[in-house]
Structure 1
């Protein structure tokens, strides 16, 4: 019965994407079916096989080691707080972003990261039926982040039509940056983080292929990566250290604001209506959670986590998820995969602002289709969660 519900959920996702499509006759069915099959195979391998277990353990070990290295730097600066036994989300979860940002900068500087992004993007374009630029951008979003990625394709932004710009932005919102993957792994199981990264990569193209189908002229499908000014190695290190710190501070500031606001709204609703705002949102999102494969007796609570992620961000949702110890392992896996993405209202402003900083006209275009962007990215998260529900 649960499998039947999940299959119905898949059909609902495709129908909802089809409703928002701007060119239903242009939808290519074959690449979509192929990518769904690839999602299912990769998800099964990662979650249900010894090979997948080994891959995830290896990735988790790498990030655990990176977090240990980061902790040595954090401990040097904030040693008294840590030595006195105090736990700080900012120090233990967000500060390691600075170190991982530095590693990304080094891999960028020695040209290793751009090489892999080009190769994987080229291979991906053979599967998704889209352009090489779109495929490169999806990999780049995963590696360098949802706002930084547009710097790498700065030369093309002014030439891109609205439909191609939508796909680039959809990739940026559907994935997450490697710089904060380590932070996620401190809150939810690494296997769900890794699985979500892989599934969302393909899911972004699946949903975009339905909502926003188009043909790419091979002559226009040229990747001109913006190299930027030549920096010395230590100039680059300084820049990425500060960039990582900015990300950590921004995420911390957003958490302070969103968590406080949610607590305030919850309290007001509880005083006036006798029920919290998050509980109300839970009932609204419960049918979606149910179609994702969550049992109905857990759907309201799961729906509350989903709604929290949408209206605030994934960090707040993950924090809420860590407080719940009554979910079955399957429900925990489904919701964990759902929350690993940048699909929330604040991302609309982040992406539009990043593009506008490089090209004002295109930034205004992104702002106009912002809600449609969020709609598609949320469907990607739902799709990934349903695939996981069929596997677990």
Structure 2
């Protein structure tokens, strides 16, 4: 039965992608097959072998340990706050550690560990699937650096890209999540699904791009040179990353206040008018998608509601809602929705991506704005594909 739902999920992704494809006659089936095979191998090793399961547990434990280290700084600054026993403050326990993780990312970037990993992982991915050096580099780097920072590494190339290549890198940016966010995600969903989703999303975005946005890559491409800034003093770089992490945490916190309040308002309004909450209503809309991904029918409405919540608001709001109901969901439903939620595919991210590109090239920013809805659809389909593959093992 799991294999049947793998097929229905794949058919859903391909069918919708085919309908909106810019060139149906030249869909890159070979690349898709190679990338999908990689996903199956990665997911099997991670979720279906003792070594993979132990490795994921180790990675999750490492991030939990990092959260504990981050608590030292948080407690020093906010330890004087009077909080009733047993209470958990989301801003302090989940968002503030982003500052510390961001600092670690900055250090690893400064000592050239991350650039080395990104460069050679991207090179290997390009050699295997032939997606193009720039696209392969960007798909890997966006899963580590996040946005808008990742766009700055290719700022010299962005003005030279055609619309097709621009779509692919933007789709990768929306489908991935930055390393600075991983520990915070693991506070709300099982760490193993966060890690697996990070790996699978890199490939899912490229697979969907092969359907929606097929094009040929040139063997000798002059657009692969990556911009490198002049090396700044270590503590200046560290301070910048710490400040960026704090700003990110504040931004996420502000968005959560606004979005959660908005959803609460809509739930109350819809319940008073039509006697059904807003989240239940959108759950009915997305429940067929959840079912085709492999979610049991009796749970498809709840999972569909979480999927829609993520699309309309952001992944943190949806993860918070999942955390509250996870105990009542089956292992399969939890696995699928947890993996699905680990991406930046939502309406708010469109503004971030468009603004980032526009700050580098106004003309290219206009192109991104023009295909923004197709971009959101592609990133959402990538999340559907990732969730479907994870569901195969539960």
Fold in common (TM above 0.5) = yes
Aligned: 1:50 with 2:50: yes
Number of equivalenced pairs: 392
Report the equivalent of 2:361: 359
Residue 188 of structure 1 aligns to a residue whose secondary structure is coil
TM-superposition CA deviations, 1:173-215 (whole Å, max 9, x none): 0111110000000000001111111111111111001111111
Are the equivalent residues in 2 in contact too, given 1:75–1:82 (CA < 8 A)?
no
d(CA) in 1 for partners of 2:2 and 2:234? 54
Are the equivalent residues in 2 in contact too, given 1:97–1:183 (CA < 8 A)?
yes
d(CA) in 2 for partners of 1:360 and 1:106? 32
Report the equivalent of 1:76: 76
1:144 Cα deviation from its structure 2 partner? 0.6
Report the equivalent of 1:122: 123
Consecutive unaligned residues in structure 2, runs of 5 or more: none
Are the equivalent residues in 1 in contact too, given 2:175–2:343 (CA < 8 A)?
yes
Residue 154 of structure 1 aligns to a residue whose secondary structure is coil
1:82 Cα deviation from its structure 2 partner? 7.2
Consecutive unaligned residues in structure 1, runs of 5 or more: none
d(CA) in 2 for partners of 1:171 and 1:187? 24
TM-superposition CA deviations, 1:201-249 (whole Å, max 9, x none): 1111110011111112233244222222431111111111100001100
Report the equivalent of 1:132: 133
Are the equivalent residues in 2 in contact too, given 1:128–1:205 (CA < 8 A)?
no
1:18 Cα deviation from its structure 2 partner? 1.1
Aligned: 1:87 with 2:111: no
Q: TM-score, normalised by structure 1?
A: 0.97
d(CA) in 1 for partners of 2:331 and 2:222? 44
1:2 Cα deviation from its structure 2 partner? 4.8
Q: How does 1:90-239 map to 2 (within 5 A)?
A: 90-239=91-240
TM-superposition CA deviations, 1:110-165 (whole Å, max 9, x none): 11111111100000112222111001001110111021110010110111111101
RMSD (Å) for aligned C-alpha atoms: 1.3
Q: Which moved more, 1:254-263 or 1:229-238?
A: 229-238
d(CA) in 2 for partners of 1:271 and 1:329? 34
1:84 Cα deviation from its structure 2 partner? 5.2
Are the equivalent residues in 1 in contact too, given 2:102–2:245 (CA < 8 A)?
yes
1:25 Cα deviation from its structure 2 partner? 2.2
d(CA) in 2 for partners of 1:97 and 1:115? 23
Residue 343 of structure 2 aligns to a residue whose secondary structure is coil
Aligned: 1:277 with 2:289: no
Q: Which moved more, 1:50-59 or 1:185-194?
A: 50-59
